[in-house]
Amino acid sequence: MPETRVPRRRRFLVCEPRHFAVQYAINPWMRPDVRVDVDLAREQWHTLISAYRSHGHAVDVVEPVAGLPDMVFAANSAVVVGGRVFGSLFHAPERRPESTHYDMWFKAAGFDVHRPESVCEGEGDLVWTGRYVLAGTGFRTTREAHREVQEFFGHPVISLTLVDPYFYHLDTALFVLDDDNIVYYPEAFSAGSREVLERLYPDAVLATREDASAFGLNSVSDGRHVFIAPQAEALAARLDDRGYVPVPVDLSEFRKAGGGIKCCTQEIRS
């Protein structure tokens, strides 16, 4: 283990939760009868943005759109590798209009955007590791989209099957620590997918269901600092033991929609 983990400056795209609400149910966490405290959500979101900036990361903001309550979950909008943008085609009809607004932002910022032909939910299910793309399927993004991603980026794509509906996106069950290692919750994956992860990452940090249910796997790492839900205390302690620096940020209000830190964060990789 390195004596000092080295952070890398990142560029993030986010969307203010001005219109955040739970108006429909498209995952097991969502209950439209539970009231969302929008003021608290905005306060928590601003705390996350401040944490990113105080650690040296650049943050761009896309304008939220009324009537799109889940637009705050910017990670689902696309995956960006090498300055190339592979957009989204949401599984739920309620979320499909979000893609247009994110595409407009990327195009205005000078990016070309590829529109997928198959259902694909951006960084929710597509995780860039620095060498290849780990790609989730089972609930949202399709295997056909995995093939599209490989053809578009020209990087290997490794398909992983999710089996627990509470961890419906890959970014609720796995996150990248640095170029060499990941954290994941094994029971969120099929038996064959677990074997793949064990072979690729024999030294991975393994999470429990308690860690995952606290949205501890919906974290963002810069290679040293790990922006993580404070409720995932045991996982944060294991990361500290490995030489990483947990940065607790409470986004508990977003759990009402099945989201957390990573869900709110799209990484733009030049």
Q: Which two tokens stand for residue 177?
A: 């620590």
Q: Walk across the sheet containing 225-228 and list its strands.
A: 220-221, 225-228, 245-248
Q: Walk across the sheet containing 266-267 and list its strands.
A: 58-62, 11-15, 266-267
Q: Walk across the sheet containing 126-128 and list its strands.
A: 126-128, 133-137, 157-161
263 is catalytic: yes
120 is catalytic: no
Distances (CA, A) of 14 to 11, 63, 73, 154, 166: 10, 9, 8, 27, 24
Distances (CA, A) of 228 to 33, 214, 251, 252: 27, 10, 9, 11
Which one from 91, 169, 225, 264 is the annotated catalytic residue?
Answer: 169
Which one from 91, 120, 225, 263 is the annotated catalytic residue?
Answer: 263
Which residues are annotated as catalytic? 169, 263
